[in-house]
Amino acid sequence: MTDALELDALWEEFHRVVNMTSQELAAWLRVSDADELSEPLPEHAGTPTGQHVLAILQKRRTDLTDDDIQVMHEVVDTVEEQTDLENEPAAEDTRRRHLLMTIGHDPLRP
């Protein structure tokens, strides 16, 4: 497991890049998975990573598992690779925005 200082830094970085609340992410996962004929059950909506991010947002730092820590690293890396936080994607870049929102990062949010 990660040492306390590394975990603190990861926790802060994860919550910096995941700029959607758990309620916003849960709603987005349901909407993004819905189609014209059906909507998935809330606990089954979205990608596995999106569901894991949602679960992490609902935890305390002391309750993190090794799997949670791995997902947190992946989310931070993905958001940093996909965005230049000083020059967020334009509103027209809908596809990339929606992909990032499935892991809790809305690039249009200040």
pLDDT for residue 96: 85
Radius of gyration of the chain (CA): 14
pLDDT for residue 19: 97
Sort residue 104 into left (φ over 0), alpha (ψ -120 to 50) or beta: left
Residues of the chain with pLDDT under 50: 36, 38, 85
Residue 88 has phi, psi (to 5 degrees) of -60, 155
